Amino acid sequence: MQANLRVRRFDPEAPEPSARMQDYQIEVPEHFTVLDALIQVREEDDPSLALRCSCRASICGSCAMRVNGQARLACKTRLTAVAPEGETVIIEPMGNQRVVKDLVVDLALFWNKIRAVEPYLQPAGPEPEDEYIASNESMLNLLTPMGCIMCGACVSDCTALEVDENFLGPAALAKAYRFIADPRDGASRERLTTLNEYGGVWDCTRCYMCVEVCPTGVAPMDRIMELRDSVMREIGTTTPGARHIESFARSVARSGWLDETMLAVDSWGRFNLPKLISQAPLGIRALMRGKLPKPWPLHHKRPGAEFVGRIFKRWESNKP
């Protein structure tokens, strides 16, 4: 079959370096992946095309790139899956990282963030002579975050990182989770304290992009949400994000729906007067235009609120 590739090229050694799209039409077998096609281009048509690849079997994490706008492993993406009718496949380097040449990006940002979470086991106390005793379940639980192959796809498409480079990002947070959830690690509290700070777990916008693009099912955002739970349990509700969750739940448990005014007040802190005063005009305008429910004490219960309240009670009593 014919494959139509449109590849974003960038040659830093050109007299005036700038990105451009280049089209390749090549004849390939039906089972080819995007990576197979790029390798064929490189081997037969254009030896200047730069990309990283190695294992061809989605285990080494080298070949993450954007295919039709979304980060993927080129080796795990069949041409027929992204271009069933032989459409043009658009191939670009990963986002959020500096392009070195063509599809090769500088992964310094990625690795700096991994390093920032102290990504190694920090056992409590001296090592036992034999292995640590741990349940198979607790180890199997770690298999999901350990499935991370550090390809960078989640970092490429993270919408929070796009606007704030200080965010640790999905890969590093999933890595941090791997140690905090490890019964052998003794530094969980210190780790959670750090993750509770600016750039940590509360900076995720829950956009789900990392879950969607992760090729190995790590689902980084789910791991970040688990970390938020741990932070609230171990450190407390010291951040706007944690108080936001707490207020949200409180409001729904009480009235069956969300009291958005109190949500804002609780999140910023009830005594955080400068912030509250600065937000007041926005709140008043929204209230006047009917875009906010009436605040407490005028916030009325929805019909059936007691049933919602019971759900919360049952959940509370079943909590581990």
Q: Which stretch binds other proteins (CB under 8 A): 114-122, 235-243, 278-286, 292-300?
A: 114-122
119 scored as a contact of other proteins (CB under 8 A): yes
Smallest separation (angstroms) from other proteins to the CB of 145? 10
**Which of 115, 206, 291, 302 contacts other proteins by CB under 8 A?**
115
Strands (E), the chain: 2-9, 20-27, 64-67, 70-73, 88-92, 99-101, 104-105
CA 228/CA 192 separation, integer angstroms: 9
Alpha helices in 131-219 (DSSP H): 136-146, 153-156, 159-163, 169-180, 188-195, 209-213
Within 8 A by CB and 6+ apart from 200, the residues are 168, 173, 194
Q: Of 1, 124, 134, 284, which one interacts with other proteins (CB under 8 A)?
A: 134
By CB under 8 A, which span of 19-27, 140-148, 259-267, 301-309 interacts with other proteins?
140-148
Which residues within the stretch 147-186 sit at the binding site for other proteins (CB under 8 A)?
A: 147-150, 179, 182, 184
Q: In Å, how far are 155, 180, 211, 264 from 201, measured between CA atoms?
A: 14, 13, 15, 19
User: Are 176 and 191 in contact, with CB atoms under 8 Å apart?
Assistant: yes
In angstroms and rounded to an integer, the radius of gyration of the C-alpha atoms of the chain is: 24
* Candidate ranges 1-9, 125-133, 225-233, 281-289; the one touching other proteins (CB under 8 A): 125-133
67/148 with CB nearer other proteins = 148
User: Per rule CB under 8 A, is residue 146 in the interface with other proteins?
Assistant: yes
Asked if 101 is part of the footprint of other proteins (rule: CB under 8 A), the reply reads yes
- Residue in this structure with the two tokens 């209230």, named with its chain if needed: 287
Choose which of 104, 187, 235, 276 interacts with other proteins (CB under 8 A).
104
Q: Are 60 and 149 contacting, i.e. CB atoms less than 8 angstroms apart? A: yes
Q: Examine residue 187 and tell whether it contacts other proteins (CB under 8 A).
A: no
Name the residues that contact other proteins, by CB under 8 A.
11-13, 31, 36, 42-44, 47-48, 50-62, 76, 78, 100-102, 104, 106-107, 114-115, 119-121, 123, 127, 130-136, 139-140, 142-143, 146-150, 179, 182, 184
